[in-house]
Amino acid sequence: MVHYIRLPNLAVGDMVEYTSRRFKSLLGGGTDHSPYTMDHIDTVSRLAVGHPLVASRIVSYIATTFTEEYGPGAVKEFILRTQKASNFRRIPIEVFTYKPMFQCSIAETFESSRERLPQPDEPSWNLMRLIAFMVQDDSAFIHFIFYKRPWILENEHSFAFHDVWSADPKIKWGLLSNLRKASMGSSAFQSGFLYFHPVLIRYIQEQTEHGLRIRILQDIMLLAIESIESMKKDRSSSAETAEQKASVDMLSTQALHCAKLCKAYGIASKHLGLAPRSDSFFKKVKL
């Protein structure tokens, strides 16, 4: 059985140095006609987000699979494919499933964690998939998940994941605890909240079936919009408090993040079925 090994992230400088050594080892270099540049090394290093195994797999994938098709231009072609929208870079799913001889793939290490969940298919995994499409900074997804929405109980047919959104807070904390116990996440050093490695987040985004991806983004976008509109309706003509402004900012940030992901995956506002309510967020995202 494959086990997920939690490795500490390398510092930026150490990560660049490690990635550079992998490039030189697998693709040569050190000449005027090197197939890669320092910018390429930096990009791969940033894609791996401090995870040496991921950087190694990316370089190995380029050196084998991509080099066969693109020759000396393999690195440049790979970098171009990772760039999608609004400075958002995607790691191709083929990198996650790439399996060097006698070694496991990145996908296998992540899936082994999923198999340790009490119910591998749901509901903890459903929450994990939803989290993967939310803003991660400063545990923003925690605030979004636990934001009070009394009206959610009356909107069962409006959300694909209504059972998750409407669950009692104790149940939600239990689901998050299951993710921690399965080694899918760990406690953030400063906040103590659950932290998910960005590479795991990207893997889930990539391996999610496109139709399901649309439903997830639709749920999060609609939840954010409905929450903002409900707050404004309740506030009526009274002045906005600092707490309300912070909530609107948090909700708007999640909606904008959804729009960025939609652009990255070729999903138009109309595909979410939320136009024109979602249009303002899509207009803020530049390709």
Res. 188 pLDDT band, cuts 50 70 90: low
Indicate whether 85 pLDDT > 50: no
Summarised one tens digit per residue, pLDDT across range 17-67 is 999 999 999 988 755 677 888 999 999 999 998 889 899 999 999 998 888
Question: Any idea which residue has 């979004």 for tokens?
Answer: 144
Res. 69 pLDDT band, cuts 50 70 90: confident
Q: What is the pTM of this model?
A: 0.86
Separation of first and last alpha carbons in the chain: 42
Indicate whether 84 pLDDT > 80: no
Summarised one tens digit per residue, pLDDT across range 133-142 is 999 887 899 9
User: Distance between CA atoms of 24 and 30, rounded to whole angstroms?
Assistant: 8
User: Distance between CA atoms of 131 and 284, rounded to whole angstroms?
Assistant: 22
Q: What percent of the chain has pLDDT over 90?
A: 52
Summarised one tens digit per residue, pLDDT across range 13-31 is 999 999 999 999 998 875 5
Three-state SS for 149-193 is CHHHHHCHHHCCCHHHHCCCHHHHHHHHHHHHHCCCCEECCCCCC
